[in-house]
Structure 1
Amino acid sequence: MKIDRLLSIVILLMNRGLIQAKELADMFEVSVRTIYRDIESINQAGIPIVTYQGAHGGIGLMEGYRLDRNVLTDGELADIFTALQNVSSYGGGEHSLLMEKISSVIPPSQIEAFRSKTTQLVVDFSPWGLRGPLEDRLSTLKEALEQSVAVAFEYVSAEGQTSQRSVEPYTLVLKGQSWYLYGLCVLRQEFRLFKLLRMRALVKETRRFTRQDLPGEEFPWSSEWKREAETVPVVLYFAPEGKHLAEDRFDSTELQPDGNGGYRVSLDYPEDGWLYGFLLSFGTAIEVLTPEHIRRKMGKLGAEIAAKYKNSI
């Protein structure tokens, strides 16, 4: 929309000083002539824009002009900026223009303090390494959410069962270290939570849907873990040589020193495929003390792993 482009031009001029008309034209994918028409419209709206000629010239705002920013304090603006900065760490820079808008209303005398505050906390959701399939799925799902279109994918459950799903997407959820999609599953005719790593061949459908109110009950990412019927008390032991792994994963209040340099950890966990994968991730540094049936299952899994590598020992 033209009004969005006009506001964006004003924000860019406030943050960057001088900008060439050609650069603005390329940025907004319009002609240079259109940019000059936009500049005229901005001037008519009472925002003073000046054109400077020469090799180092360009388009800029009259010196000293700033937008009104009395609605929010500098601290509140810094908090909003920090939140946008952290959310933008995964899946693109769609918030970059809004971040520029926020920066533009900070008085020059406060800009150093503003930058200091916005770099005090960094939450980076992106993984180490190059862009991968997970980021592509996030990008596709964000587009589907914005456009209110259904998505289709092949889904592999925690039990290894594969099914084709058509889902009306409602919410992207980052829980722990994993991304999930919460949406209305056409197959089950109810809201379900889908782990992005278990999706295959994700595509947007042409079918649009009307977003409805979310179910009133507690959301699954905050309730399912706590259901007593699905959890079991587990006691773990970390030997001294593996205590650093315990300290890296558990809070200090959850670690019980055994007096010999090791730790005991007692927590309630849902007994499913995730639990055994979690326990196996610690390798030989961990021992399950109780319950006995989980201890036996870990021993069986360990024996099966050892059998796979018996010819390599």
Structure 2
Amino acid sequence: MKTDRLLSITIYLINRKKATARELADYFETTLLPEFFDPSVHPPYKDTFQQDTRSTTLFVLKFAPSARGRITDYYNPLNLHFMPDGFIMGFFSFPEDEWVYGWILSFGPLVEVLEPAHARQRIKSLVNSMGNVYNKGSS
């Protein structure tokens, strides 16, 4: 049985007062920790991150149809436009740093930077530099 399904059943049984946590611990041959979670001690999740104040750049990217699963799993559909030919246009605002270029490069030939022009040129330069490393003739 999958862990998430098992957790759902456990929570259901406890909420319906059909089993206690102790009974379930005994059944699953595990032990209960003496601690308990007190949410008032922990800050809300959103307060644990420092607000990013860097300026962002709008990237317009064209993804191959085979990148659809990866793109739709991670990004808001409002940022995506599905073309009749199967390609996906993505509109993303990111701080322009090494992370964004690494992210774009991680798609390999499945993405093309359309805008901004300087980002397209930067990707082209990075790809050429990478090609030069492998074209030196060493095996």
In the superposition, the TM-score normalised over structure 1's length comes to 0.29
Whole-angstrom CA distance in 1 between matches of 2:16 and 2:70: 46
Counterpart among 105, 111, 123 of residue 280 in structure 1: 105
How is 1:176-215 mapped onto 2 (pairs within 5 angstroms)? none
- Correspondences of 1:246-261 after superposition (within 5 Å): 246-261=71-86
CA change 1:107–1:257 in 2 (3 A) is: closer
1:117-266 equivalence runs, <5 A: 221-224=49-52, 227=53, 230-266=55-91
Q: CA deviation at 1:248?
A: 3.1
> Aligned-pair RMSD on alpha carbons?
3.7
For residues 308 and 299 of structure 1, the distance between their equivalents in structure 2, rounded to whole angstroms, comes to 15
Task: Note closer, same or farther for the CA distance 1:280–1:312 as it changes in structure 2 (3 Å cut).
Answer: farther
Shift of 1:222: 4.5
Aligned to 2:117: 292
Alpha-carbon contact 1:245-1:282 (below 8 Å) kept: no
The amino acid of 2:83's aligned partner reads: D
Q: CA deviation at 1:312?
A: 7.5
Moved more, 258-267 or 240-249: 240-249
- Point out the structure with the larger strand share: 1
State which structure, 1 or 2, has the greater radius of gyration over its C-alpha atoms.
1
Ranked by relative contact order (alpha carbons within 8 Å, sequence separation 6 or more), the top structure is 2
Give the aligned partner of residue 30 of structure 2. Answer: none
Structure 1 position 111 matched with structure 2 position 23 = no
Query: For 2:68 and 2:126, how far apart are their aligned partners in 1?
Result: 23
CA shift digits 1:61-103 (9 cap, x unpaired)? xxxxxxxxxxxxxxxxx9xx98xxxxxxxxxxxxxxxxxxxxx
Q: Whose helix proportion is higher, 1 or 2?
A: 2
For residues 294-313 of structure 1, the aligned pairs below 5 Å read 294-310=119-135, 311=137
Structure-2 change in CA distance of 1:230 and 1:111 (3 Å): same
The list of structure 1 runs, each at least 4 consecutive aligned residues, that deviate by more than 4 angstroms after superposition, is 106-109
Indicate how the Cα distance of structure 1 residues 107 and 240 shifts in structure 2: closer, same or farther if over 3 A, else same: closer
| Contact in 2 for aligned 1:233/1:291 (Cα 8 Å) | yes
In structure 2, what is the Cα distance between the partners aligned to 1:307 and 1:110? 66
TM superposition shift of 1:233 = 0.8
Deviation sequence 1:118-147 (CA, Å, 0-9, x none): xxxxxxxxxxxxxxxxxxxxxxxxxxxxxx
How many pairs does the alignment contain?
Answer: 108
